Every structure is written in C-alpha cells, then in structure tokens.
Amino acid sequence: MVGKNALISEEEVDSQIESEALDEARDLVSNLELRVQQVKNGVLDPKEAAKTLAIDSTNLRMKARAVNLTGFGPLTHSLDEYLSEIESVEERHISDLFAFADRINSLLDGETVDAEAISAVLRELPQQSAFNVEDVVITDKSVTVIIPQRTAAKVVGRELAACGYRVSSVTNPIEALELILETKPDLVITSQVMPRLSGVDLACALSAMPATRTIPIALLTSLDPDHPDLKALPMNVGLIRRGAQFGDDLADVLQRFNIT
C-alpha cells in the first residue's frame, strides 16, 4: 500500500506536466535554431529544412496549449503561420526565424509579457508575404480571420495582406476565441458557417464580453442580410458577402471601422 506521503497532489501533477511541456518546448526551439544555422552553413537542404521546421513549429504550438504562459500561444501561432508560407528556407528567411526563436526563448526563460502588450510584441515579429513589400504600404493594424476552409482563408488573408494589414488566420473558432482574447486585433472577420460555433455565435460572444466588445467584427457569409440565421447578429457587426460583392463589402467594412 502506498503511504500518504507518496501521494501526489493534483497541483503537483499539473506543475510536472507543465514543466515537461516547457522543457520540450525549449528543445524544439533549440532544434529550430540548429536547423536554421545548418541551412545558413549550407549543410541542410533548404526544402527539407522547411518541411522539418513546419513539423517542429506545429509541435511547439501544441506545447503552448499545455502551459499557462502569457503570449506563448500567439507567438507560436505566428511562427506556425510564417512557416506555412515557406516551401524552402532561403537567406531572407534566416534572420526572421532567428528573431522568432529569440523572442520565444526569452519568454521560456522567464521574461514576463504584460497581457496588454502582446499585440505590440506580435507586430514587431516578421511576417511572411507573397507581395513585394515595396508595393505595399504596411500599416500597424492587425486582422484575425476565422474561416475553416484553408483555401478561402488564404484568399481573404492575401486580400488583406495586399492592403498592408498583418493577418492571422485561424480555422477553429474555439482556438480563435482564445487568440482574440490575448491579442486584441484591430478587426475580426469570421465565417458564418463553422463547426461548434457559428459566426453569429462568435460575434455575439465577442460583443458581449467586456474584454473584446470594442473590437470591430465582420461576418463573412453568402446569406442575405435579412436571413433568419442572421437575426441574432449584433447591430454593430459588419457584413461581407461572398462572391462578386466581396471586394466592395470588405472595403466598406474597413472604412466603416476606420481600419486604416
């Protein structure tokens, strides 16, 4: 029989799990730095490195869900998005990836990031773009896009990126809710049709919570404005219709909420 002194409390179990997750996260960041250095030194194939780093980044993002560390989730999400746009680690990516590693390492080493400063920290990080930065006027505004279909999310994301906005895409509305609470974006664009939560549900939740009710929201939908499914949509939420009206509606929303 195990004595009472050998029993481990629930708090100790949670602490042990979190400690192990943090150690594994540090290993993943070290591996990232090593692989980027190997690419820089010409001893690792850039395309193979991109594939491996994407896997490591996804694993790092999973570790962020196992720990209570302010800013860790948004940072790993941003890194994951950056790597998702890379098919080959080129010279121009190397300094960016080291910047991500340094920022995440600082957090893992005990640097405290105020909850209100997370958005500013993310704006300082590099962002991968398919556009020539000389052709785009970069703004300091951030937009979170919640669309389950990755192809549709990329279309919307690239349209916004072409306008100079920093874009964060999320496919899961529950994960998006957590991300929005931490990052406080300047605009949220959510699809109406999503698993577990509809766009109307998410808009109602964000509009009701004191922490997020001042964040502008727009609903992306193919439904008519007077459709019954949109009856509960808060009055302050913008509408972006899919199809031919998309560009005009998006421009109207950006102007309405002064996201410039």
| CATH code for the domain in which residue 240 is found | 3.40.50.2300
CA 79, distance to chain mean position in Å, is 9
Domain end: 95, 111, 128, which one?
128
Assess whether 137 and 35 both reside in one domain. Answer: no
Pick from 8, 9, 37: nearest CA to 101: 37
Measured distance CA(103)–CA(106) in Å, rounded: 5
Assess whether 137 and 245 both reside in one domain. Answer: yes
Assess whether 81 and 146 both reside in one domain. Answer: no
**Given this model, what pLDDT does residue 1 score?**
45
Measured distance CA(14)–CA(42) in Å, rounded: 42
Measured distance CA(224)–CA(130) in Å, rounded: 33
54's tokens = 């994407």
Assess whether 205 and 141 both reside in one domain. Answer: yes
**Given this model, what pLDDT does residue 144 score?**
96
Low-confidence ranges of the chain (pLDDT < 50): 1-2
Total of domains in the chain: 2
Classify residue 123: in a domain, yes or no: yes
**Given this model, what pLDDT does residue 69 score?**
87
Assess whether 168 and 115 both reside in one domain. Answer: no
Assess whether 123 and 143 both reside in one domain. Answer: no
Taken as a whole, the chain contains a residue count of 260
| Domain span including residue 37 | 12-128
Classify residue 5: in a domain, yes or no: no
**Given this model, what pLDDT does residue 2 score?**
47
Assess whether 120 and 202 both reside in one domain. Answer: no
Classify residue 122: in a domain, yes or no: yes
Assess whether 44 and 141 both reside in one domain. Answer: no
**Given this model, what pLDDT does residue 94 score?**
96
Give SS3 for 46: helix
Assess whether 134 and 168 both reside in one domain. Answer: yes
Assess whether 86 and 141 both reside in one domain. Answer: no
